[in-house]
Structure 1
Amino acid sequence: MISYFNDYANLCFEKFGDRVKYWITFNNPWTHAKVWHSYSKTWRSKQQGMVGISLTCAWGEPVDLTSQKDIEAAERYVQFYLGWFANPIYSGDYPEVMKNYVGRKSAQQGLGTSRLPTFSVQEKSYIKGTSDFLGISHFTTRYITHKTYSARQGPSYHTDRDLAELVDPNWPDPGSKWLYSVPWGFRRLLNFIKTQYGNPLIYITENGVSEKLQCIQLCDEWRMDYLKGYINEMLKDPLTAYMEMVTEIVVPTVFTLCILITAILLMFLLRKHN
């Protein structure tokens, strides 16, 4: 199938490459490295275009920011979701946490080898760097907590991750059961990509919401609010995002520590007085 798809892509490059300058090999993919090499070898110098891939990913936020297990589970959520395909492109291999978890679950299920394929040295070299830009489709966020699944439950992408997905009932619900409006998760996903993959060129290839109500007249305020929220998060400058993080995480943490220190000092003073 890789060769067939490569032939198809080359036909598209030949017929439309003088006009089309941005190509996405797969939207929610599986394989695309050979097409990138074909374009670079045959068409890039003539057409001056770009070839990338489009990956879908929700953001995973730890339920408990003081729990190392929840923090690691949220990291696994994103690595199993986005890193599964992005990591080979930018690092040449699957995420380490994915290899470890799938390998361990495979062993517990009595398998001699991991259910996650292994790249050869040649394949790693061939795949790494095969994207001129990274397309991202993003819609929503989940709170993530650690949850251990027994190997007896059988092989599954979902049980391999050892985590549970939760939502905040206060998040705006646009209508679809899976889609909640959580704009701040979009910003955190973009920052993750920037840090994890060396600040690649990103195009947002999908974002939006489903229809909430059946209307005979225009009633689209909820969709406007969703898009404004997500676009504003994308446009925020780094200082604004940093200050928000300080407000959301650092200030409450410092406040809690101050309360604890005050309580300890009061206990010490009362004991000394008694």
Structure 2
Amino acid sequence: MVNYFGDYADLCFEAFGDRVKHWITFSDPRAHAQAWHSYNSTWRAKQRGLVGISLNCDWGEPVDVSSPKDIEAAERYLQFCLGWFANPIYAGDYPQVMKERIGKKSVEQGLDMSRLPVFSLQEKSYIKGTSDFLGLGHFTTRYITERNYPSRQGPSYQNDRDLVELVDPNWPDLGSKWLYSVPWGFRRLLHFAQTQYGNPPIYVTENGASQKLHCTQLCDEWRIQYLKGYINEMLKEPLLSHMQMVTEIVVPTVCTLCVLISAVLLMLLLRSQS
């Protein structure tokens, strides 16, 4: 699959590289490094574009910020989510907590080796540094606490993490069972990504709210409030060091909204005159 994807990526670079200057290899990662190296060695000098990846992660907030166990559980939540794929790209290997936890669980399950693959030195060198920017998808937040009871699941992602996810019933419900509006979690995730991975350029590649009501009129006030809250959190300090998030994502969004509002006002004006 890695080689097939490399061929596909090369075909895209060749066909569209004279116009496309920002490439995202995956929203669900695999074979990313080979595509980056192919662009870097064959196409970058001529096309002068950038290649990154898009990773999706919710924010994990400790239930008790004074509890070391809850703090560790929240960190573990983020490392198993964002770090799983970002850490090999920026540091050359899986997060240490993943290696330790999954290795221990694997031994307890009677396996001779960890269920988490081990990178060779050559693979680490090949993967590390293969991103010109970090694409970040984010939608909501969870409170995280240490799991204090044995899991009924066998070998699984959930069992390896050993944590419990909770939500605040006061968070605005947006229609989907998993989605709550928690703007402050967005800023904390952006700050985490900046500090964890050496302050890379960040593009917000996914964010938004699902349909809450079925209606024939414009009735998405909850979506307006969601986007307003999340954009405002993105604009707060110290996140202004990478203004491309604002200029390339927020500005087009605001311009589009202005055009739509102008069109509605013009329509109302024409109706009143007729």
Higher-Rg member (1/2): 1
Alignment partners' CA distance in 2, 1:213 and 1:152: 37
Q: Indicate how the Cα distance of structure 1 residues 151 and 237 shifts in structure 2: closer, same or farther if over 3 A, else same.
A: closer
- In structure 1, the residue matched to 2:133 is 133
**1:195 shift after superposition:** 0.7
| Count of aligned residue pairs for this structure pair | 240
- Aligned twin of 2:162: 162
CA contact (8 A) 2:10 2:38 kept: yes
Tell me: CA distance 1:146–1:46, structure 2 relative to 1, closer, same or farther (3 Å).
same
Residue deviations 1:79-130 (CA, integer Å, cap 9, x gap): 0000000000000000000111101111110111000000000000000000
Q: Residues 106 and 113 of structure 2 are in contact (CA less than 8 Å); yes or no, is this contact kept in structure 1?
A: yes
Aligned to 1:204: 204
* Residues 191 and 239, structure 2, Cα contact 8 Å, conserved in 1: no
Cα separation, partners in 2 of 1:136 and 1:114, compared to 1, 3 Å: same
For 1:107, the equivalent position in structure 2 comes to 107
Question: What does 1:165-184 align with in structure 2 at a 5 Å threshold?
Answer: 165-184=165-184
The CA distance in 1 between the partners of 2:71 and 2:147, in whole Å, is 12
Residue 86 of structure 1: aligned partner: 86
CA shift, 1:237, in A, is: 1.8
Whether 1:15 aligns to 2:23 is no
Could you tell me which residue of structure 2 aligns to residue 246 of structure 1?
none
Deviations 1:32-58 (A, max 9, x none): 100100001100000000000000000
In the alignment, what sits opposite 1:39? 39
Report the TM-score when normalising by structure 2: 0.85
Unaligned runs of 5+ in 1: 241-274
Assess if the C-alpha contact under 8 Å between 1:109 and 1:152 holds in 2: no
In the alignment, the residues of structure 2 paired with residue 179 and residue 102 of structure 1 have an alpha-carbon distance, to the nearest angstrom, of 28
Question: Following the alignment from structure 1 to structure 2, what is the Cα–Cα distance between the partners of residues 212 and 101?
Answer: 39
2:218 and 2:14 map into 1 onto residues whose CA distance is 44
What does the per-residue CA deviation read over 1:206-251, in whole Å, with 9 as the maximum and x for residues that have no partner?
A: 10010000111111111000000000000012399xxxxxxxxxxx
Change (3 A) 1:150 1:103: farther
- Match of residue 3 from structure 1: 3
| Aligned 8 A contact 1:149 1:162 in 2 | no
- Amino acid in structure 1 at the alignment position of 2:97: V
* Contact 1:59–1:142, Cα closer than 8 Å, also in 2: yes
Deviation at 1:152, TM superposition (A): 6.6
Residue in 1 that maps onto 2:264: none
Give 2:59's aligned residue.
59
Q: Pairwise mapping of residues 213-232 of structure 1 onto structure 2 (< 5 A)?
A: 213-232=213-232
Q: What TM-score do you get using the length of structure 1 for normalisation? A: 0.85
> Any idea what SS the aligned residue of 2:103 has?
helix
Q: For 1:40 and 1:217, locate their aligned partners in 2 and report how far apart those are by CA, in whole Å.
A: 49
Distance 2:214 2:39 in 1: 45
Structure 1's consecutive aligned runs of 4 or more residues displaced over 2 angstroms after TM superposition are 148-153
Secondary structure of the residue aligned to 2:26 is strand
1:176–1:10 distance in 2 versus 1, CA, 3 Å: same
Secondary structure of the structure 2 residue equivalent to 1:153? coil
What amino acid sits opposite 1:63 in the alignment?
Answer: V
Please tell me the root mean square deviation across aligned C-alpha atoms, in Å. 1.4
CA, structure 1 residues 100+70, in 2 after alignment: closer, same or farther (shift >3 Å)? Answer: same
Q: Who is 2:233 aligned against?
A: 233
